């Protein structure tokens, strides 16, 4: 009886070519597993393509709600943004995909899991760390790193290989962007983006929305509600998180929100340039942050910002299934108890503009914040506070002056 391998299958050229390659070089029974994280029409026709390529079975697993509730929302609540720009769309999806691959591998009694990530990218790390954490006994196959047996170096090579094995597929050898899409975002790499000196060809590139220049000339007001840090409604309509993201994607795409051009530092040590479209995610992150401004105290916000940066690093580096991620997430969750209220803003040509925030747990006191003297705040108290707060500065200055005098 042949050993089984579960292949993380997207239906693209790379993973299609891997099917006959696995059978030819390892004599595996290949079980394809496509994880639906909200990539839409990319799933069309996959079963026929997988079977035509030699797979014995195809699983298409819908994990959209799991992805949104258990991976996206912890990052939103943490304010996790990698290098101040990247909202972790690909990074967050890899652990949920890996978990499902392990589940199917266990179900099928497979001895190995195969992925099509390249040897230069971050995804190989994210997939493999997750698999190691969840199933240390399962073998991992990474064709692009196995250069002694994986000899294909281009799309032309892969197409020729498929044809040699009787697989005539509708893939062209034309160059195109390398993209990764899910409900949260779509990423673009390659072509002119490989040169940081080149301006992105947005006319050719954008999928989820338009540039701010092409957005409507009229602004649009949006109202959202949150309960304990979780979004509950958009414009008065209550929805689950995945539908809220879908709604915000449409609004954000329409108004040119969430287009980021970044040169980021990959885990493997190189810099890479890409463009990310995250229209709904950008709105959701901003709305959540606006509400937190009202309800979190200064000290908690300061530490939470550090934890958000730590969470971003953890997720980016593929360390989701670790005690550290669990601990950081537990801290973040403890800060969300009172993040409840309503956020109103308007969208206009790439901008999210505040239009009013309310919360029953707001720490904002109008009497304290105004220029009039409230009963909780005596202006005279500031004198003593400043004396003590500035004491180290004053003592240092005095000591330096004394030392300088003694040297003369």
Residue by residue, DSSP assigns 106-156 as HHHT-SEEE----TTSSHHHHHHHHHHHH-TTSEEE-GGG-TTT----SHH
Catalytic annotation present for 49 = no
The catalytic residue among 36, 53, 91, 123 is: 123
Alpha helices, DSSP H, located in 6-63: 13-26, 46-52
Given the residues 53, 91, 94, 187, select the one marked as catalytic. 94
Q: Which of 127, 124, 274 is nearest to 198 (CA)?
A: 274
- Give yes or no for a contact between 305 and 289, defined as CB atoms under 8 angstroms apart: no
User: Is 251 within 8 Å of 312 (Cβ atoms)?
Assistant: no
3-state secondary structure of 95: helix
Please report which helix (H) or strand (E) contains residue 310, including its range.
helix 298-316
Sign for the pseudo-dihedral over CA of 160, 161, 167, 171: negative
Is 14 tagged catalytic?
yes
Measured CA to CA, the distance from residue 133 to residue 101 in angstroms comes to 13
**Element of type H or E holding 265:** strand 259-265
Distance set, CA 265 to CA 83, 86, 190, 316 (Å): 8, 11, 16, 10
Choosing from 10, 14, 181, 273, the catalytic residue is 14
Using CA atoms, how far apart are residues 86 and 274, in angstroms rounded to an integer?
10
Catalytic member of 178, 233, 242, 272: 178
**220 closest CA partner among 252, 260, 185, 259:** 252
At 31, list the tokens: 């079980």
| Active site residues per annotation | 14, 94, 123, 178
């Amino acid at each position: 009886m042949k050993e089984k391998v579960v292949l993380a299958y997207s239906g693209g050229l790379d993973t299609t070519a891997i099917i006959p390659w696995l059978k030819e070089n390892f004599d595996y029974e290949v079980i394809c597993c496509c994880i639906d994280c909200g990539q839409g029409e990319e799933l069309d026709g996959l079963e026929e393509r997988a079977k035509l390529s030699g797979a014995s079975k195809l699983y298409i697993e819908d994990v959209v709600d799991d992805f949104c509730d258990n991976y996206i929302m912890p990052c939103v609540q943490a304010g996790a943004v990698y290098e101040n720009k990247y909202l972790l769309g690909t990074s967050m999806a890899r652990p949920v995909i890996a978990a499902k691959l392990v589940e199917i591998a266990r179900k099928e009694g497979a001895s190995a899991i195969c992925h099509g990530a390249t040897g230069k990218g971050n995804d190989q790390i994210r997939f493999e760390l997750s698999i190691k954490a969840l199933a240390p006994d399962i073998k991992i196959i990474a064709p692009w790193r196995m250069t002694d047996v994986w000899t294909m170096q281009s799309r032309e090579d892969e197409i020729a290989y498929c044809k040699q094995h009787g697989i005539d597929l509708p893939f062209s050898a034309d160059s195109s962007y390398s993209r990764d899409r899910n409900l949260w975002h779509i990423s673009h790499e390659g072509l002119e983006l490989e040169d940081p000196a080149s301006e992105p060809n947005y006319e050719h590139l954008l999928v989820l929305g338009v540039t701010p220049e092409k957005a409507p000339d009229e602004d649009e007001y949006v109202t959202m509600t949150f309960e304990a840090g979780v979004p509950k409604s958009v414009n008065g309509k209550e929805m689950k998180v995945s539908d809220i993201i879908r709604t915000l994607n449409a609004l954000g795409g329409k108004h040119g929100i969430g287009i980021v051009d970044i040169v980021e530092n990959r885990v493997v040590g190189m810099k890479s340039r890409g463009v990310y479209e995250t229209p709904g995610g950008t709105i959701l992150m901003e709305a959540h942050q606006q509400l937190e401004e009202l309800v979190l105290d200064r000290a908690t916000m300061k530490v939470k910002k550090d934890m958000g940066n730590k969470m971003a690093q953890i997720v980016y580096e593929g360390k989701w299934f670790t005690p550290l991620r669990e601990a950081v997430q537990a801290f973040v969750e403890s800060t969300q108890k009172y993040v409840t209220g309503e956020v109103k803003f308007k969208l206009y040509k790439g901008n999210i503009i505040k239009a009013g925030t309310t919360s029953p747990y707001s720490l904002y006191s109008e009497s304290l914040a105004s220029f009039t003297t409230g009963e909780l705040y005596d202006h005279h108290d500031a004198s003593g506070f400043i004396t003590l707060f500035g004491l180290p500065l004053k003592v240092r200055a005095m000591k330096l002056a004394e030392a300088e005098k003694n040297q003369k």
